[in-house]
């Protein structure tokens, strides 16, 4: 089901309001150094909450985190590549070829074990939780509490979210679509949010990636053990600490994504 084709009444009213006031995506406050230069001076620092951040010359908000190029194009690149191929692309292929859904899930679990072992090679590059951005720190805290036995998977995913803001901002963006009754049916609300993610993308290739993401994640949640841990994690996470802040949105709007899809027409 495509949830995003018809926005609900509240979203429609909000969009009408901003349209009447003349607000458009390009008028929203956003990082702007890229408009006049290829780079800008910046200063890496520890923000008041203990996380690592970066002040960019001339920008209103500090950037959450510090993109480390040697990791993005080094150890992080093959890790993300293996996840994309072994978990998502391969699972899609197996489903299209008619493999039993339960068997596909079993093979996903096996692949995850190999991938988390690969991430162990980067354990000394991973920031300690107290220095992670607030959103990632909260996910790490909740995961540690509800499923300490899967700490390797936790470290793998939080490593990616911390070091690659494109992934982190998208996860944070999902929160606005979880709804008031999230804890009553986390799986349903998560599926809805993933549907919206596709419509937040600008580039066609990214829309296809999000369709792939949703299909395989929702498949994995058919497994009772995965679903149980997923629900426990969702109920433990304080999503107010994960959702996009004004500063996050300020920097996210500088990327190819419809950051304000919930209030503006694109």
Domain containing residue 71: 9-252
pLDDT tens digits in sequence order for the chain, 266 residues long = 444 445 666 677 778 777 788 888 889 999 998 888 888 999 999 999 999 999 999 999 999 999 888 888 888 999 999 999 999 999 999 999 999 999 999 999 999 999 998 888 888 999 999 999 999 999 999 999 999 999 999 999 999 999 999 999 999 999 999 977 777 899 999 999 999 999 999 999 999 999 999 999 999 999 999 999 999 999 999 999 999 999 999 999 999 999 999 888 88
Residue 257 lies in a domain: no
Domain total in the chain: 1
What does the chain come to in residues? Answer: 266
Q: Longest Cα pair distance anywhere in the chain, in angstroms?
A: 55
Residue 154 lies in a domain: yes
Q: Are 215 and 26 in contact (CB under 8 A)?
A: no
Residue 266 lies in a domain: no
Nearest to 25 by CA among 193, 210, 199, 257: 257
Residue 38 lies in a domain: yes
């Amino acid at each position: 089901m495509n949830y995003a084709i018809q926005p609900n009444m509240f979203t429609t009213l909000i969009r009408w309001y901003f349209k009447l006031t003349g607000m458009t995506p390009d008028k929203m406050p956003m990082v702007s150094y890229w408009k006049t230069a290829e780079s800008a001076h910046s200063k890496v620092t520890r923000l008041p909450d203990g996380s690592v951040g970066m002040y960019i010359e001339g920008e209103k908000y500090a950037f959450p985190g510090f993109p480390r190029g040697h990791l993005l194009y080094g150890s992080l690149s093959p890790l993300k590549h293996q996840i994309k191929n072994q978990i998502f692309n391969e699972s899609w292929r197996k489903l299209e070829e008619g493999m039993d859904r339960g068997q596909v899930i079993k093979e996903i679990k096996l692949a995850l074990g190999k991938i988390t072992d690969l991430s162990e090679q980067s354990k000394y590059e991973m920031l300690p939780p107290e220095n992670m951005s607030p959103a990632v720190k909260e996910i790490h805290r909740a995961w540690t509490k509800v499923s300490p036995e899967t700490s390797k998977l936790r470290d793998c995913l939080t490593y990616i979210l911390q070091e690659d803001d494109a992934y982190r901002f998208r996860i944070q963006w999902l929160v606005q679509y979880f709804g008031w009754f999230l804890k009553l049916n986390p799986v349903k609300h998560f599926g809805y949010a993933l549907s919206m993610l596709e419509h937040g993308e600008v580039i066609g290739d990214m829309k296809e990636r999000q369709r792939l993401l949703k299909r395989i994640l929702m498949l994995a949640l058919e497994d009772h053990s995965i679903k149980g841990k997923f629900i426990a994690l969702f109920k433990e996470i304080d999503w107010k600490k994960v959702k996009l802040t004004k500063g996050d949105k300020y920097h996210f709007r500088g990327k190819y994504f419809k950051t304000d899809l919930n209030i503006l027409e694109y």
